[in-house]
Amino acid sequence: MAISRVVLFLFFWNAILWTPARSDLVILKLDRKIDLTSQTVRVTSSLKIENAGPSTASKVLLAFPSHQARNIAELRSFYREGKSKVSSDQLRVELVEPQGMPPDLTFYAVQLQKDLRRGEILNLDVLAVFTHSLKPFPEQISQTEVQLVVFQDSAYYLSPYVVKVQSLGVKLPSKNVESFTKFENSKLIDSEIKYGPYENLPVFSYTPIVVHFESSSPFAVAQELLREIEISHWGNVQVTEHYKLVHGGAHNKGGFSRFDYQSRPFASESSSFRHLLARLPPRAHSVYYRDEIGNVSTSHLRGDSRKTELVIEPRYPMFGGWKTSFTIGYGLPLKDFLFQSEGRRLLNISFGCPIEDVVVDDLIVKVVLPEGSKDFYSSVPFSTKQWEEIKYSHLDIAGRPVLVLKKTNVVPEHNEPFLVQQSFTAEGASDASFWIFLLFVAYIVFMHVDMSISKSSASYISKLQWDEVQTSLQHVLSVINRCLAVHGKLEASLRDLSRTGDVRSCKAARKAADSVFKELLKELNLALGSLQSSPQAAQIWPKVEELVAKERELQERLILKHSSVVDSYEKKHSGREIENRIAAHEQKLVALRHEVDDLIEILDELC
């Protein structure tokens, strides 16, 4: 575990804690805040630094244990003027390897805008954002248990400089704290743990602390996110985002009970999440949300001239360790994101993940430029890997250039605008226009050519007979689909029964379904008679008979399940007893639904 590494680390540093400071800089006062209210850990440090030596200083070193530095997603530094005013100019922070420093530490250098002279004081704010720093403990919980996590750090600020006065505040998501490390000047006030103040600490002071607390915030982690931003100079920007999402919290154990989830929603929601919020750019249009099965209708879109928000709901609640994949797509007005400057075209669009509070392990952004673009490059406010590709689309001749940017460990702080500059030649657009014109001419010629078949020919009569078969088949499939819709209403009545316990309403739904089934059976028999009478239907008739038989078997099984659940509720059986009683029915229903869906798909292709 990380804590064991920290202990070894401390043992190693006992020999150097009393060595003199390696710099003339002294931290007069330091106030550190650790925010643990979400899965992303944010550490804000406010430093008051004095140059007590004879020479000037051009940089300030920041030190992190190497095991902790691996989880750094973003590191920023700003000048602070007064108590609360922070400069908007971000200072440059870079990874360094200073001489004579401990090998198990990782160092970053904040480059000052101007040298700090002897006796001068500056105020500096440092923001460090960490991912995967909260560890579930226990690692497995049931769906009704709350999620507990462990966080490890130091009560003292790890620094190569002497710290005169320092304090630490750890902000938690709630007052529910299992335990935390206690020693001098430590206390829990509401949902915040405070350590300090501590005075006159030597260089590299480190005292480990462990906080074990309740966290019900969603640990949504996108293991992979591919964003494709396609630019069309015809007036549109098309954005397509492919997600592979996992719940990174404590894994679910003991299986999943739909009945318990619906009957005790507040208990289940503490260890799972059901909704995600995506903040899209203003004036986003043609928004869709789909997965491998097809379009997902459980989404809500709202927006105005300043924002567009998409609330998406996966097909099932996300518990710890569960995964899902889906795609979000939308269009944007080109004029809002593409500008011209000194003969070049500039694309200004956001880089990171638009879904709120999601950590992205691997993010790839592909900017697909119009054919004919050249001399293109990007300007991103943080480090990324970049390369180029070619994509071929409709009517392309040489292909469209693609600028690819990749970044790991992406957090909401990376959802910032970035620039792509390009030069554009008209030759590519002219080639596409020529092919569009040629296609238009070919279409006019095709529409004026008489390619009809004589009405007295055998092929024409055969076509009419096949059209009649297709019409009858469509009628059969329509009746079957209406039967399946009634199946859905019966299943919905059982869900309402588990939520409300209203047996009378459930029986009324069953009575209404029986009445509809009788009417649909009459209509189905008429359609089947018409279909069977046609000789052209001989090849598809076995599949139609099989579909009708499977639907009837499915209907009978569903009615048996419905009767069993209602009878169990009247006899006051427990939820577990009900699930055991209908388990065999449920397995058979799932298999029959798949068979019916496959047969409908086969016959649909013939219509």
Residue 286's CATH number: 2.60.40.1730
Q: What's the CA gap between 349 and 376, in Å, rounded? A: 15
Token representation of residue 408: 């790991």
Domain range for 587:
466-605
Q: How confident is the model at residue 535 (pLDDT cuts 50, 70, 90)?
A: confident
Q: How confident is the model at residue 451 (pLDDT cuts 50, 70, 90)?
A: low
Q: Are residues 487 and 356 in the same domain?
A: no
pLDDT the model gives residue 222: 95
Residue 385 has pLDDT above 80, yes or no: yes
Cβ(189)–Cβ(170) under 8 Å? no
Q: How confident is the model at residue 15 (pLDDT cuts 50, 70, 90)?
A: very low
Cβ(306)–Cβ(262) under 8 Å? no
pLDDT the model gives residue 184: 84
Average pLDDT of 28-44?
Answer: 95
Q: Are residues 68 and 162 in the same domain?
A: yes
| Residue 525 within a domain | yes
Q: How many helices (H) and strands (E) does the chain have?
A: 9, 33
Which of 254-263, 348-357, 425-434, 464-473 has the weakest average pLDDT? 425-434
Residue 396 has pLDDT above 80, yes or no: no
pLDDT digits (tens, 9 = 90+) for 265-310: 555 566 788 889 999 998 899 999 998 888 887 788 988 778 899 9
Token representation of residue 402: 């693609």
Q: How confident is the model at residue 4 (pLDDT cuts 50, 70, 90)?
A: very low
Token representation of residue 430: 């002219």
Greatest mean pLDDT range, 182-186, 219-223, 474-478: 219-223
Q: Are residues 355 and 400 in the same domain?
A: yes
Q: In total, how many domains does the chain have? A: 3
Average pLDDT of 580-603?
Answer: 84
State which amino acid sits at residue 203.
V
In this structure, the dihedral spanned by the alpha carbons of residues 293, 298, 303 and 307, taken in order and rounded to 10 degrees, is: -60
Which of 528-542, 556-570, 590-604 has the weakest average pLDDT? 528-542
Residue 376 has pLDDT above 90, yes or no: no
Residue at which a domain ends, from 196, 214, 232: 214
| Residue 458 within a domain | no
Q: Are residues 259 and 375 in the same domain?
A: yes
Residue at which a domain ends, from 192, 214, 236: 214
pLDDT digits (tens, 9 = 90+) for 106-120: 999 999 999 999 999
Average pLDDT of 313-334?
Answer: 90
Cis before 197? omega within 30: yes
Q: Are residues 206 and 243 in the same domain?
A: no
| Residue 442 within a domain | no
Q: What's the CA gap between 387 and 327, in Å, rounded? A: 24
pLDDT the model gives residue 581: 82
Please name which of 441, 240, 457 lies closest in space to residue 331, comparing C-alpha atoms.
240
Average pLDDT of 312-336?
Answer: 90
Strand 41-51 to 25-35 pairing: antiparallel
Which of 60-64, 186-190, 227-231, 525-529 has the weakest average pLDDT? 525-529
Residue 546 has pLDDT above 50, yes or no: yes
Cβ(177)–Cβ(212) under 8 Å? yes
pLDDT the model gives residue 311: 92
The string of DSSP codes covering 302-351 is: EE-SS-EEEEE--SS-EEBT-EEEEEEEEEEEGGGTEEEETTEEEEEEE-
3-state class of 376 per DSSP?
strand
Percent of the chain with pLDDT over 70: 87
Average pLDDT of 427-439?
Answer: 61
pLDDT the model gives residue 8: 41
Q: Are residues 245 and 379 in the same domain?
A: yes
DSSP code for 412: G
Higher pLDDT: 174 or 266? It is 174
| Residue 555 within a domain | yes
pTM score > 0.85 for this model? no
| Residue 331 within a domain | yes
Q: Are residues 413 and 535 in the same domain?
A: no
Average pLDDT of 546-567?
Answer: 88
Q: Are residues 318 and 349 in the same domain?
A: yes
pLDDT digits (tens, 9 = 90+) for 52-105: 888 899 999 999 999 999 999 999 999 987 666 667 678 999 999 988 888 889
Q: Are residues 364 and 325 in the same domain?
A: yes
| Residue 138 within a domain | yes
| CATH number of the domain bearing residue 57 | 2.60.40
Percent of the chain with pLDDT over 90: 40
